[in-house]
Structure 1
């Protein structure tokens, strides 16, 4: 269920994302700081909203600049009649989901947790938001060996009773590890 008292509306540009290796084109929009400020957290946040009157549900990603960005897939681009580019402005209305939905656990992390009963117990004892952050920490690794190391580290920390990821800034503000995508024309 969405919180109706924290709905915010704003206009923001919608631009194509730079796709270095090809793939299905998608666009994104960076929320104005004022719109992001009403959200419950600077890290990943699930929202329900509208773009140009078209409903969507999505997970906002932190941009490392005290705001969030939204990935807009091809279907939503077409349905909302968007023409991504520097001159494309869209009207948004968003509100955070409350409670935050349970995150989808990546297959490799799921397998590691299943193979480590103490880590799995720790995982099950954490909150949904903590699980969102654990997954975000794993998924933010840029290399496979770093991701594998983080999965092992997560299992170790959870087995030791740690409920939150240590040394991970889910907003990217302090570590600068997270950012919005680069525009296609950049």
Structure 2
């Protein structure tokens, strides 16, 4: 079994994921979500995007997208139990 990060280029502390189209649409259409999202740090937003887009299956990605919307709207700053974006942090390379 491979883990997230095994096939990645060297970590870059300045790396940021592009915002996926479904999240762009949700932020456009949901004012409370947008207000909370805008209050997150760049790294917090990046960690949520990485966590949401990293699963291998569409079903898991969809579940995480729904959870992202709920958690961010509720004021959570980072996804629970996620060590951070492995594209950015060497210490998060074994996650998955």
Report the TM-score when normalising by structure 1: 0.40
Given candidates 150, 155, 160, the residue that maps to 2:69 is: 155
Given candidates 28, 33, 36, the residue that maps to 1:119 is: 33
Where do 5+ consecutive residues of structure 1 fail to align?
1-61, 72-95, 178-186
Q: Any runs of at least 4 consecutive aligned residues in structure 1 with deviations exceeding 3 A, and if so which?
A: 100-103
Larger Rg: 1
Give the structure 1 partner of residue 88 of structure 2.
none
Give the structure 2 partner of residue 19 of structure 1.
none
Structure number having the greater strand percentage:
1
Kept in 2, the 8 Å contact 1:113–1:155? The answer is: no
Q: CA deviation at 1:150?
A: 0.8
Give the structure 1 partner of residue 22 of structure 2.
108
Equivalenced residue count is: 86
Report the TM-score when normalising by structure 2: 0.72
Provide the alpha-carbon RMSD of the alignment: 2.6
* 1:148-178 deviations in Å (ceiling 9; x for gaps): 11111111111101111112223143xx41x
Give the structure 1 partner of residue 9 of structure 2.
70
Task: Return the structure number with greater relative CO, CA threshold 8 A, min gap 6.
Answer: 2
| Rounded Cα–Cα distance in structure 2 between residues aligned with 1:102 and 1:168 | 16
* TM-aligned CA distance change 1:70 to 1:102, over 3 Å: closer
| Rounded Cα–Cα distance in structure 2 between residues aligned with 1:112 and 1:145 | 18
